[in-house]
Amino acid sequence: MGDDNMKVMVAEDNRASRVLMEKMLKLQGHEVLTAENGKEALDLFEYNDFDMAFIDWMMPKIDGITLAKEMRGDQREREMPYLIMVTSKSGEQDMLTALEAGFDDFISKPIDSSVLLSRIKVGERIRMDLPLDAINILTGEHNVISRMLRIFEVLADRLGKLEIPKTVLEWCGSTAVMLDTEVHHKKEDHFMMVFLERALKEHGESPDSRIFSRASLKTIEEEHTELLILLEDIRLKIQRYLDQEKGAAQTLRKAINDYTKLLREHMEREDRLLFPLTRKYLTDEDMGRLISEFENVEKKVGLDNLDKRVEQISKAEKIFKITP
């Protein structure tokens, strides 16, 4: 298995549910071992180190609650798998019983494949020690983008005073497109969609709702469009600067400053208004769904490409003596 793949146990006496979970996990590239009852599951646990385990509550020989207690009571020094209860029970006391037995999460029957996938994604991120909160991911990206903008501001200040190499200016444009437009804004589009779905379910369609005006959702959406226009303007003015057109340094400096100013205000608005509001609405299931969508966005751009850009930001900070 690759470093990102997990070893997962599926303990479920219902064949259809067991096969569904097994196939979904294998499609994600994970190794799966299955058990039809609690005794088989305990035997598998005895001789394997699992990253994640899906365990049915009502199983023959040993039920899921007893099985989880047996697993948590293992005295050997080993990493415990992320335990997910699979059950048709939905009462509050049932959930408390499962948590007290040592389960980390649960999935209700009949199993919904989208919910199952979100739980798998949670397990993957736990294994890789990655954040599980979509809002924390977005605010973390704000920090990286702010560092990028500081580099832009330093370069803008030097325009007309020092010669800026073509490769550096082109790097600015392509980095902004990748980190902000192709990744961050795409993730925010998914984030806004899930939030609006959740808010509409709770409040219904209310165009005058204070919820939407307070968060300035319309302003945030309009700023996304304006930022795209400003970024394209920067790329055009970079070319004019490289062509040594008269006054190009001043117009490029203004374009960069306009972009950095609006993007900083945009991120501050999200941090101050949007994210605190959405946290009140988004469920764990929503977070799992968003993390899955975020990963799809990153895969389209390429994880290696993203890592390389962040490394380049760190190198640029050293060159220009910028404190992150």
pLDDT in tens, 78-94: 788 989 999 887 777 87
CA dist 263 and 266 (Å) reads 5
Between 64 and 218, the higher pLDDT residue: 64
For 189-226, the pLDDT digits (tens) are: 999 999 988 888 877 765 555 555 555 677 888 898 99
Which two three-digit tokens encode residue 164? 């800026």
Pairing mode, strands 7-11 and 52-56: parallel
| pLDDT value at residue 3 | 56
Please report, for residues 200, 203, 277, 280, the alpha-carbon distance to residue 211 in angstroms, rounded to integers and kept in the order given. 11, 10, 8, 11
pLDDT for 283 beyond 90: no
pLDDT at 226: 94
- 91-147 pLDDT, tens per residue? 778 778 888 888 988 888 888 887 888 788 778 777 777 777 899 999 999 999 999
Sort strands 82-87 and 52-56 into parallel, antiparallel or unpaired.
parallel
pLDDT over threshold 50, residue 2: no
Domain limits of the chain? 7-127, 134-319
The pTM score is 0.70
| DSSP secondary structure of 9-52 | EEE-SSHHHHHHHHHHHHHTT-EEEEESSHHHHHHHHHH---SE
pLDDT at 175: 95
- pLDDT value at position 311? 94
**Predicted local distance difference test score (pLDDT) of residue 1:** 41
pLDDT over 90 at 23, yes or no = yes
Task: Over range 170-197, report the average pLDDT.
Answer: 93
pLDDT at residue number 322: 86
* Location of structure tokens 């709770």: 202
Residue 115 or residue 150, greater confidence: 150
Find, among 65, 18, 76, the residue nearest to 38 by Cα.
Answer: 65
Cα distance between residue 157 and residue 162, in whole Å = 9
**Between the CA of residue 300 and those of 101, 189, 297, 303, 306, what are the distances in Å?**
40, 15, 5, 8, 11
pLDDT of 10 over the 90 cut: yes
All residues at 6 or more sequence positions from 324 whose CB lies less than 8 Å from its CB, including other chains: 147, 314, 317
DSSP single-letter state for residue 86: E
Q: Which tens digits make up the pLDDT trace of 225-251?
A: 999 999 999 999 999 999 988 999 999
Q: Which residue would you say has higher pLDDT here, 220 or 47?
A: 47
- What's the CATH fold of domain 7-127? Rossmann fold (3.40.50)
Which residue would you say has higher pLDDT here, 296 or 76?
Answer: 296
Residues of the chain above pLDDT 90, percent: 53
- Domain 134-319 top-level CATH class: mainly alpha
